[in-house]
Structure 1
Amino acid sequence: MNNNSFLVSAKGICIAAFLSFNTVMFAQKTADISTISEKTLSSILEKNRTYYTKGKVADYIPELGNMDAKAIAFSVVEKNGKVFNVGDVQKKFTMQSISKIIALMIAVSEKGETNVFDKMGYFGTDQPFNHFSNLETTGKPLNPMMNAGAILTTSLISGDGEKPFLKILDMVRYITKNQTLDYSTSVYESEKSTGHRNRGMFYLMKNNGLISGNEDQLDNYFRQCSIELTAEDLAKIGYFFANECVRFDGDSKYKNAEMSRLIQSQMLIAGMYEFSGEYARTVGLPSKSGVGGGITVSVPGKMGIGVFSPALDQHGNSAAGYHMILDLVKQYDLSLF
């Protein structure tokens, strides 16, 4: 055998070994995911429980400041719809910005993606969630995940008065299969009375010709942010968008692969605000946070994850929640990358 033949033969053996190794590793990953249990989640939760001490409960909305900083919950909904819950799983908290992905789904369903995104961008950002961004330059919000874009998104949902909000609430109830969900009137009133920055965005966009209605539309935004749910509900929302808008129990009434891709792509590039880029590097999954302390996560084609811990980091994301997600992703190699 000459040297060239030897090299070719050796190369072939190496490639075969590599492919065989990858096949084994892939099989192991699949098996590993199926071993997720409440014991697994409990271990991760306990490891990260004390991260609340490194965060701060949101108090710029006074009513949110009453949340128990030590509360913590962790939920997963598997591919077969099986639910795993640990921690304070009965504890309710408000959706806040997580409601933006539901509003976006409804607005795009009604108006079409082109019409919605003609008024805003697909861009990420290096600014906080309540930044005015380029409203005074191009006049359009950067994306539907920041407050300005979310306020605009809700204003695009058809219907007078509370109808746009009720559509959002009904959709959250459908996805979670939980008809008892409602909004907190005390948080709504607190948000409305202190939401002057959001009010400024609303009127600036109205001045730019993007919004034609009155403050009823902004009230709908405050209401949708005040919808109360649990970590399990968030896991079911994550599952829904991870699986082409099919509900955890298999109900495919809203099945839509393109909608699923749109929502998840926005979650990935802007769902964690200015932390989204670093989050994509460390976690690598479509996720949406809210200043109520919740984060919903979609593992495309596989599962939904929901976490809750109200103490927030400097970006407005749950401190303990982020670390629980990070540990689960590392343990089961769930990152897209």
Structure 2
Amino acid sequence: MDTKTIGIVGARGHTGAELIRLVAAHPGLELAFVSSRELDGQRLADHSEAYRGELRYGNLDPAAVAAAGVDAVVLALPNGKAAPYVEAIDKAGGKTVIVDLSADYRFDERWYYGLPELYRDRWRGEKRISNPGCYATAVQVSIAPVKDLLAAPPVSFGVSGYSGAGTTPSDRNDPDKLRDNLMPYSLTGHMHEKEASRHLGLPVEFMPHVAPHFRGLTVTTNLYLAKPAKREDIVRRFEARFEKEALIHVVDEAPWVSHVANRHHLDVGGFAMSADGRRVVVVATLDNLLKGAATQAMQNVNRALGFDELTAIPL
């Protein structure tokens, strides 16, 4: 297996830490740089139990990232921060693959939207990949197998652990304010609502909340059907859509978020039918830092660099 080089920008955050763990276990990837303004100069091995070596965090500006000439760069930055790095890499004219974890390019037709299990047919060997949002991943998986059966916009109720709010202090990642609490926010027009609607090609209504647990999210989606259906027919659609997908598990009971925390797959199940067969409720759970971010990024890096998609991803 030929070794490829990879760099991570924004490596201090929760997702950056998970990416470092995945790269450290990858037999074909060498971590060339990790960029973090706050940790500049510190040894990576002092912050990550998974990494062994003398690599230190750097504070790399866009020009320095482009000059590194690595095979792949993962941008794990807040929304609105990716463009200078993309522009510098484009200007350098190299063949560096960029996987962007922010929302900056999820609506850009020039970028591949990297949710492999749903959009494999769109893959054309792109070098610019926009990693889907965590909630948007769960919402789309909950809807895609039956979207042609719907009579009305799906309605999704989401609850996430507070790691989804990042490391910058706010009410939504303050354990004291979240204790014994459920915090609603962005109840209309959330970025992931727009994202799921865009890529599914139908309007989705989404209402997110933050809970006191650290990691993992649940999305419960109400689906109104144009014609009555049987539960077994709905289940069969999901099983047929995802039967070859190692990271999407179709389960019978409504899944629990505690069962996917620290795991790399998504569970989708429940399939509760109304008495008249015109409404089905589907529940999806995933770890927002893994299948909702770092694991999905690793899938996309693997595909773009020619590795098996699941390399270094524990099943």
TM-score range, shorter chain: under 0.3
TM-score (norm. length: structure 2)? 0.27
Which structure would you say has the larger RCO, counting Cα contacts within 8 Å and 6 or more residues apart? 1
Higher helix proportion: 1
Higher strand proportion: 2
TM-score (norm. length: structure 1)? 0.26
